[in-house]
A and B are shown apart, each in its own frame.
Chain A
Amino acid sequence: MSASAVGYPNTGGIELAFTWGGAIGSGDATAVPASAVLESERGAGPVPTPGAATGLDPAPLFLFDTVFGYALLFLVGLFLVYTGFRKYKTSQLIANTPTQNIRSLAGGRAEIVGTATPGDDLVEKPISEGKCLYAQYRVEERRTIRLGKGNKKKWRVWVAVDEGEIGHEFYVEDETGTVPIDPTDVDLTVDDANTTRTTVRTDEETPEAVAQFESNRPDGQSESIGQRIVDELHPANISLRSMLRLYAIVSAPLWTLVSNVNPSKRRRRYTEWVVEPGEDVYVFGNAKEQTDKSESAITTDERLVMTRDEMTRRFVISDAGDEAGAAKSLRRQTPLWMGGGVLLSIASLYLMLVLLGL
C-alpha cells in the first residue's frame, strides 16, 4: 500500500460554529469542525442602555439584534446538543469494544493501543517547525461586526476560513505486531502538548513556518461556489462534515456582507494538532482487509489496515494512550456540549420571541 497525502477539500469560505466548554483549548481537534469565537467589545462612545432609545424597546439584545441572528444561535445550540450526543455515543462504542493485540486483529470494528511509528515518510507540521506522522489544522480570521445605533457596538468573530488534515500512512505497533493506519477523516483528540496555536497580524512579522504553510495551502476560493456545493452534495461525500462544509460555503457570502476586516491589522489564528512519532496512541476504527494484499499474507501488517469505520462513522485517534483515557475524555465533554447547547438554544429562543414582541 503506498503512502499518500490526504486532505479535506478546502472549505474556503467562512464557517460558523461556536467554541464551547473550552473544546479547542482542550485540544479536541474535531470537537468543532469550524469555529467562530464570539467576543463582545464595546466600541467607542456611549452604548445605549436597554430600553433607553425609545423607552419601549427591550433592546439592545444579545448578539445580532435580529430574529435571524437568534434563529442562527438557536440552530447552533441544537448542533451543540447533537455534538454532545455524538460524543456520548462514541464513548459508548469505545466501551463496547475491547482492546485487541495487533497480532490477533480480525476484520471489522476494532481498537488497539500501541506506539505510532513512521511509514515511508513523515509530513511537515503545518504551523510549527518539525515533522510529524499526522496533523490537523484550522485557519481562522478575525472579523468585526458592527451593531446597534450608529454601529457603535462591535463584535469580534473568529471565522474559520480553512481546515484540513495531512498525513501519510503510518504504523502502530504493540509487543505482538504492527498494523498500518490510513489517516483519513480522523476524529483526533490530543492534549495541549500536541497542540500549537499562533496568531499572526499583517503588521507583524509572519513566522517562517506559517508563511511556508500559507504559500503551500491550496486556495479554496479558486473554485466557484456553485461547483463546491455540487461537490459537497455528491452522494459519495455526504456526511456530517460535508453538511458543515456546505453550510460554510453557503453562509460565506453572508458573513462577508455583515463583517469586515481592517486590512492593515488583519489577524489570522492558526491551530494545529499533531501525532508525533514514538507516541503511545489509542486507535478506534475499522480493521479492513488490504485490497492489494498478496495470497501469502499472514501477519497483520500484511493483511489489514486501520481505517474509518463506515458503520459507526468513527475513526478515533487519541494520544490518551489507552481506552479508559480516550473514553473518559469524551464522556467529560458530553455534559459540556449538551448543557451548553440546551442553554444556548433556550436563551436564543427566549430572546428571539422577545424581539418578535410576542
Chain B
Amino acid sequence: MLLILTIVVLFAIVLGGIIAVWYGINLYNSLIDLAERVDKHYADIDTSLQRRNDELDGVIAFAKKALDQEDMYVELARAREQASGAQTPGEQAAADQQVQQALMNFESRVEDYPDLDGTSEMFDQIESVKAIEADIQDKRTVYNDIVTRFNTRIKQFPHVVLAQQLGYEDKEHFEAEESARDAPDYEEKLGVAA
C-alpha cells in the first residue's frame, strides 16, 4: 500500500509540475501574442493611413490642375506632408487632426466654385478620404483598446515578472484630443442640412 501511495503522490506531483510548466509557457506565449497583436493593429492603421494619403494626393493633384490659387490647397498639401512624416502614434494622431481640419477647410472653399470641370469627381475623392478616415478612427479605437490591455497586463502579477525579463514597456496610445475623436462635422461646416 505504501508503494501505491508513493506512486500516486509522485504522479500527482509530476502532473502538478506539468500543469505549472504549461501555465508558465502559456503566460509567456500570451504576452508575446498580445505584443504581436499591438504591432499588428498598428500596421493595420499604417495601411489605412497610406490609402488615405494616396487619396489625398489625388485630391491635391486635382486642385493644382483646376484651381489657380495656390492658397486654396496649400494647407491641405502641408497637412498631407506632415502626415507622411509622422512616426509615433502621438505624432500621427496630431497630423491626422490637421489633415481632417485642412480637408474640411478645402472642401468649404471649393464649394465656392461649383462650375469647375470635374468638381463632382473631386468630391467623390473627398468622400473616399472621409470613408477611410472613419475606418482609421475605428482602427485607432481598437488599437487604443489593445494597448490598454497590453499596458495593464505587463503590470499585473505574474505577467510583470516576464514583462520585465522581456523588456516590455508601456506602448503609446493614439492621443487625439477629445474634439478630434469624432469625425469632422462637414455638414455644419458647409452649411448643409443633415
Q: Does A47 contact B (CB under 8 A)?
A: no
Q: Are A104 and B142 in touch, CB under 8 angstroms?
A: yes
How far apart sit A88 and B142, CA to CA, in the bound complex (Å)?
Answer: 23
- Indicate if the CB atoms of B12 and A346 lie closer than 8 Å: yes
Chain B residues 135-168 with CB under 8 Å of chain A are 135, 138-139, 141-142, 145-146, 149
In the assembled complex, how far is the CB of residue B163 from the closest CB belonging to chain A, in whole angstroms?
14
Alpha-carbon distance between A235 and B120 when the two chains are bound, in angstroms: 56
Closest to A89 in B: B26
Flag if B135 contacts A103 (CB, 8 Å): yes
User: Among A97, A104, A354, which residue has the most Cβ atoms of chain B within 10 A?
Assistant: A104
Interface mask (A94-133 → B, CB under 8 Å = 1, otherwise 0): 0111111101101011000000000000000000000000
For chain B, the count of residues having a C-beta within 8 Å of the partner chain is 28
Knowing A98-B142, A103-B135 are in contact, say whether A358-B30 is a contact too (CB < 8 A): no
Interface size on A, residues (CB 8 A): 28
Check if A103 sits within 8 Å of B26, measured CB to CB: no
Contacts of B11 on A, CB cut-off 8 Å? 345-346, 349
Closest to A78 in B: B15
Does chain A have a CB within 8 A of B134? yes
Q: Does A342 contact B (CB under 8 A)?
A: yes
Q: Does A353 contact B (CB under 8 A)?
A: yes
**Cβ-defined partner of A103 (8 Å) among B4, B19, B41, B138:** B138
State the total of A-B contacts with C-beta under 8 angstroms.
68
Residue of A nearest to B131 (CB): A298
Asked if A79 CB lies within 8 Å of chain B CBs, one says no
A 266-282 contacts with B by CB, 8 A: none
Q: Which of B19, B30, B40, B135 contacts A338 (CB 8 A)?
A: B19
Instruction: List B residues at the A interface (Cβ < 8 Å).
Output: 3-4, 7-8, 11-12, 15, 19, 22, 26, 30, 33-34, 37, 40-41, 44, 47-48, 134-135, 138-139, 141-142, 145-146, 149
Q: Is the CB of B7 within 8 A of A85?
A: no
Query: A92 at the A/B interface (Cβ < 8 Å)?
Result: yes
B138 in contact with A104 (CB, 8 Å): yes
Complex interface: chain A residues within 8 A of B139 (CB): 104, 106
Asked if B138 and A101 make an inter-chain contact with CB atoms under 8 angstroms apart, the answer reads yes
Contacts A92-B33, A99-B145 aside, 13 further interface pairs with beta carbons under 8 A come to: A92-B26, A96-B146, A96-B149, A98-B41, A98-B145, A101-B138, A103-B134, A104-B48, A104-B135, A106-B44, A106-B139, A346-B8, A358-B4
B16 nearest in chain A by CB position: A342
Query: What A residues does B7 contact at CB under 8 A?
Result: 349, 353, 358
Interfacial chain A residues near B142, Cβ < 8 Å: 98-101, 104
Q: How far is the CB of B188 from chain A (nearest CB, A)?
A: 22
Roughly how many angstroms separate A116 CA and B146 CA in the complex, as a whole number? 25
**A residues near B138, Cβ cutoff 8 Å:** 100-101, 103-104, 176
Q: Shortest beta-carbon distance, A317 to chain B, in Å?
A: 20
A binding-site residues for B, Cβ under 8 Å: 81, 85, 88-89, 92-93, 95-101, 103-104, 106, 108-109, 176, 338, 342, 345-346, 349-350, 353-354, 358
- B149: chain A residues within 8 A (beta carbon): 95-96, 98
Nearest first, the 8 A-B pairs at minimum CB distance are A104-B138, A98-B145, A353-B4, A101-B138, A106-B44, A104-B135, A92-B30, A96-B34
Q: Given that A349-B7, A358-B3 are contacting pairs, would A96 and B22 also be in contact in the complex, using a CB cutoff of 8 Å?
A: no
A293 CA to B37 CA, complexed, in Å: 26
30 contacts between A and B (CB under 8 A): A81-B19, A85-B22, A89-B26, A92-B26, A95-B30, A95-B149, A96-B37, A96-B149, A98-B142, A98-B146, A100-B138, A103-B134, A103-B135, A103-B138, A104-B134, A104-B138, A104-B139, A106-B44, A106-B139, A342-B15, A346-B8, A346-B15, A349-B7, A349-B8, A349-B11, A353-B4, A353-B7, A354-B4, A358-B3, A358-B7
Asked if B37 contacts A97 (CB within 8 A), the reply is: yes
Distance, CA A345 to CA B145, complexed state (A): 41
Q: With a CB–CB cut-off of 8 A, which chain B residues contact A354?
A: 4
In the bound assembly, the distance between CA atoms of A99 and B34 in angstroms comes to 14
Nearest B residue (CB) for A104: B138
Query: Cβ of B30: which chain A residues have Cβ within 8 Å of it?
Result: 92, 95-96
Question: Please, how many angstroms separate the alpha-carbon atoms of A47 and B103 in the complex?
Answer: 88
> Judging by beta carbons under 8 Å apart, are B26 and A88 in contact?
yes
Nearest CB on B from A145, distance (A): 26
Chain B's closest residue to A106 (CB) is B44
What's the Cα separation between A350 and B26 when bound, in Å? 30
Residues in B with CB closer than 8 Å to A88 are 26
Residues of A within 8 A of B19 (CB): 81, 338, 342
